[in-house]
Amino acid sequence: MQTAHYDVVIIGAGISGVGAACHLERMCPGKTYTILERRQSMGGTWDLFRYPGIRSDSDMYTFGFNFRPWTEPKILADGPSIRQYVRDTAAEYGVDKNIRFGIKVISASWSSDEQLWTLTAVPEAGGAEMVFTCNFMIGATGYYNYDAGFQPKFPGQEKFKGQIIHPQHWPENLDYAGKRVVVIGSGATAITLVPSMAGKAGHVTMLQRSPTYIMTLPAIDPLSSRLQKFLPDMLVYRMARTRNVTLQRLLYQASRARPKVVRRLLLAQVKAQLGGKVDMKHFTPSYNPWDERLCVVPNGDLFKALKRGDASIVTDHIESFTAKGIKLKSGEELEADIIVSATGLNVQLMGGTAVSVDGKRFQPSEHMTYKGVLVEGVPNAAIIIGYTNASWTLKADIASEYICRVLKHMDKKGYGQVVPQDHDNSMVASETVMGGLNSGYIKRAVDQLPKQGNKRPWKIVQDYVRDVPVLRYSPIEDSALQFTRKSDKPASTPKPAAKKRQAA
């Protein structure tokens, strides 16, 4: 059995895991670490999803890492560009040398006596079980199941003679030229697929149960593009980042404080782009802005496809699949050669790793997160979960910075263990770490996600401006964190010295 010990083990080599490792290189250059990645390449979401047109639904000036500028002109970047950005960042900081690919972590067990995590893993390709031990564990796997997206069972689905595809597992080299395509869904994936497939496909129909708020962003940031000609890349990046964080925050706050006003503004810009050629009922949600995540489209590409007639939109409910397509409750039948079920994700934390503390199984829904990073009742562990109302990486970056601050503090004070403890029964059972969104995938996962509390440090505010001083500058020790001195007991698991690359 192979064994290896590291100061820190990061699970997942997506944007969160690579970012966490880069922060370790920058802030804790003496720490040994490894990233355990189940797949054979880094990039996470941006390597897994390969459907036409895949792109970010957040602007890259806030979705990029805070320590490495995004220098391309695209605001909403395509998947391959983001994947390359993650890989280039990993290479620049030497993180790529510390990733172990093709390793699936099965279980993680904490021992308070040894002040040690023991992770059991297996090679995806088959082979002997592997054991890793570490002093601190970081879960950077995101929040969804990579094996299978959410696929509802539609009545009569077996009757359909064409192809049924989920975007999470897009067939390589799928030929949809000249074919009739129906995309089921109204979220970010659906509104990306429709204009990307329109024109090449015979016709693309977006079938939604209910409308979503959609806002147009320019594909290129003209101001940043001009400034890059005579200012340093990092300065331009930080200027754009500050501007966009401010705008995102103002929009979200306005949506909460003045939902009717924001609703009118959002619908007005859609109406102007449709030019009277598409019924506004398809773009008029029944809920308030930001009750569900706001979707964005570059240069109004979705509206352009609808106006050209390459695509159409239908708001209805599915009665059943038929041999030729989909029969709707209105009685209409949508004929299709390909049906794309853009129906969302299945939530899963830690990549399905079974976590236990001193022999007791960890149930996420029975715990809260401390400052949205550390885990209540779980020693020496962090879960990186980004924002739901802004760019994921904004939170991932400052969460990683906070983890590094904690590690440095523990070393300075001679601590071997830190565990957040709630002394005031703060948990709000109806609220998860994903905030107040009513999206279907979050509703389906209430019993799988950690909860949050009624006050800080257990309450998650989903606000970068308020989180920065808390995570980056506030004192590490407080009444909610319980620290324990390093144990003198030797670990039972062999701990070969891990070779550490010099910090870049």
Domain annotation for the chain: domains and CATH numbers: 2-147+346-485 (3.50.50.60), 157-341 (3.50.50.60)
Could you tell me the two tokens for 270?
């859609």
Q: Return d(Cα 104, Cα 125) in angstroms, integer.
A: 10
Query: Which are the contacts of 488, defined by CB distance < 8 A and separation ≥ 6?
Result: none
Nearest Cα to 16, choosing from 395, 293, 352, 381? 395
Could you tell me the two tokens for 438?
């009513």
Neighbours of 210 (CB within 10 A): 13
DSSP 202-236: SEEEEEESS---EEEE-SB-HHHHHHTTTS-HHHH
Could you tell me the two tokens for 272?
């102007």
Amino acid code (one letter) for 42: M
Q: Return d(Cα 100, Cα 41) in angstroms, integer.
A: 10
Task: Provide the β-strand partners of residue 100.
Answer: 36
User: pTM for the complete prediction?
Assistant: 0.91
Task: Provide the β-strand partners of residue 95.
Answer: none
What pLDDT, on a 0 to 100 scale, did the predictor assign at position 19? Answer: 97
Q: Return d(Cα 250, Cα 227) in angstroms, integer.
A: 24
Q: For 213, which DSSP code?
A: -
What pLDDT, on a 0 to 100 scale, did the predictor assign at position 497? Answer: 39
What pLDDT, on a 0 to 100 scale, did the predictor assign at position 488? Answer: 54
What pLDDT, on a 0 to 100 scale, did the predictor assign at position 492? Answer: 40
What pLDDT, on a 0 to 100 scale, did the predictor assign at position 438? Answer: 58
Predicted confidence pLDDT, tens digits, the chain (504 residues): 668 999 999 999 999 999 999 999 999 999 999 999 999 999 999 999 999 999 998 899 999 999 999 998 888 899 999 999 999 999 999 999 999 999 999 999 999 999 999 999 999 888 889 999 999 999 999 888 888 888 888 999 999 999 999 999 999 889 999 999 999 999 899 999 999 999 999 999 999 999 999 999 888 888 888 998 889 999 999 999 999 999 988 998 999 899 999 999 999 999 999 988 999 999 999 989 888 888 999 999 999 999 999 999 999 999 999 999 999 999 999 999 999 999 888 888 888 899 999 999 998 888 999 999 999 999 999 999 998 888 899 999 999 999 999 999 999 999 999 999 998 888 887 788 776 555 666 667 677 788 888 889 999 988 899 999 999 999 999 999 999 998 754 344 334 334 443 333
Q: Return d(Cα 290, Cα 268) in angstroms, integer.
A: 17
Could you tell me the two tokens for 402?
């906070």
Query: Which are the contacts of 261, defined by CB distance < 8 A and separation ≥ 6?
Result: 254
